[in-house]
Structure 1
Amino acid sequence: MVHSELQDIADELFAIDARLVEIEAEKRRLLQRKQILGQRQSSLGPHHGYSMQLSAGQKVALFLALFQGRSDVFARRWENRDKGRSGYAVACHNEWRFGICDKPRTKCRACGNRRYRPLDEQAIRGHLMGKQVIGLYPLRTDNTCHLLVADFDKSGWRNAAKAMARTCGAFGIPHAVEVSRSGNGAHLWIFFSEPAPAREARRLGFGLLDKAMGDSSRSVFRFL
């Protein structure tokens, strides 16, 4: 029986070696084909080669597909350079209209004249063109969300963001990392294919962070 098992192992090892030879040959063939296609693409010139550039409409559609949240309202960034202050406020059709808007004496949520602007294609186009900076309300009215974002903004944010990105990669979780507007922080985004309960999304985020660096490092980030 031992002899039979040894023979089976030897046969399988031989089959594996043969398959590896085939794979190596296929790899060489694909690399050669890739080189030929690259040379052909270069010879056709930049106007005839394959392009990954998206049209304005495609960019808006991509933004809407990824950054899904409340569509009935969004925030808009404001800045007071004289006082060195900035922040986000809900976008309203009646903002600062004389005789209608009573800011800052009356808060938006208590104003009877509020008419919130919807997050539509026009708002997103303005954001992508740099005409305004908008903020998304990711928590929907049914307490679900389409995304999770971790905000790293204290000392050690670089290492913390890298550690969490590595953990996402280890679990096969697609993610995107960007540097904050200030240049002194980072955001890590995880997009869901369907709405998820907000509680479960936060649990996922904390679980990933704990796996990456432990509870003691939670002070360098927050989930938005």
Structure 2
Amino acid sequence: MEARICIEDELAAIAQKLSELEREKAALLSRRNELHASAQGSSPTQLTPKQKAELFRNLFRGRQDVYAVRWQGSGGRSGYAVACENEWVPGICQKPRIKCGECPHKKFKPLDFSAVYDHLSGKHVAGLYPLLWDSSCYLLAVDFDKEDWRADVRALAQACRDEGIPYLVEISRSGAGAHLWVFFSESFMLRPLSVKP
């Protein structure tokens, strides 16, 4: 029995050390990126469109075979739909009678340089499918949209800084919320998680 407790203690210590090393690695990668940017003297305004698109694609990694595009209806409704070469093509597209995923004529557009460039230049708003086919992911996005979202996002940002975890914050389109993004150098497996206040 005592040997089992020792093994469990050692396994817990190893797990904690691995977690610490992962945070240290993330901080070092972030610092390395800062140093590279300083050494090259590049700011986002000095990057070529291709460099900006590649930087964006390196951060926001997800499925490359498909992406979504934001739509806005005449009644003020909005949402995202999968980008399809055949969308609204007469005689081919059968929306809204048939859902895109069930359409025999679906020809989803890949998330390529052109799609990213069009997103960055404002031609459309692209939506990423972050969950890969093997149920892994390269990023974490935390959505803040409750009344006290500003305090909440500041608290999480401070926790990230305290732990040396690189992050980005963006204000939501509505201005009444924010997203905090954490990017990982390697993919991680996902499992169901739901946090309720």
TM-score for both structures, normalised by structure 2: 0.75
> Residue 86 of structure 1 is aligned with which of 69, 78, 86?
78
Distance (Å, rounded) in 1 between the aligned partners of 2:130 and 2:146: 23
> Residue 62 of structure 2 is aligned with which of 59, 62, 69?
69
Residue type of the alignment partner of 1:61: E
Distance (Å, rounded) in 1 between the aligned partners of 2:190 and 2:182: 13
| Correspondence 1:7-86 to 2 at 5 A | 52=43, 53-80=46-73, 82-86=74-78
Distance (Å, rounded) in 1 between the aligned partners of 2:107 and 2:62: 19
The corresponding residue for 1:20 is: none
SS in 1 for 2:110: coil
CA deviation digits over 1:167-198, x for unaligned, max 9? 11111111111101110000000000011112
The corresponding residue for 2:9 is: none
The corresponding residue for 1:120 is: 112
Residue type of the alignment partner of 1:123: A
The corresponding residue for 2:92 is: 100
The corresponding residue for 1:192 is: 184
SS in 2 for 1:97: coil
Residue type of the alignment partner of 2:59: L
Structure 1: state its 5+ residue gaps: 1-49, 207-214, 220-224
Distance (Å, rounded) in 2 between the aligned partners of 1:70 and 1:55: 24
SS in 2 for 1:89: strand
Distance (Å, rounded) in 2 between the aligned partners of 1:178 and 1:111: 35
CA deviation digits over 1:51-105, x for unaligned, max 9? 522111110110111110000000000001x311000000000000000000001
Distance (Å, rounded) in 2 between the aligned partners of 1:65 and 1:144: 16
Structure 2: state its 5+ residue gaps: 1-40
CA deviation digits over 1:90-127, x for unaligned, max 9? 00000000000000011111110100000000000100
The corresponding residue for 1:151 is: 143
Distance (Å, rounded) in 2 between the aligned partners of 1:85 and 1:154: 21
Distance (Å, rounded) in 2 between the aligned partners of 1:142 and 1:51: 36
**In proportion to residue count, which structure has more helix?**
1
Compute the RMSD of aligned alpha carbons: 1.5
> Residue 133 of structure 1 is aligned with which of 117, 125, 138?
125
SS in 1 for 2:69: strand
User: Alpha carbons of 1:114 and 1:170: their partners in 2 closer, same or farther (altered >3 Å)?
Assistant: same
Distance (Å, rounded) in 2 between the aligned partners of 1:146 and 1:159: 26
- Asked if 1:162 is matched to 2:126, the reply is no
Distance (Å, rounded) in 2 between the aligned partners of 1:64 and 1:96: 28
Q: What is the aligned length? A: 155
Distance (Å, rounded) in 1 between the aligned partners of 2:82 and 2:48: 29
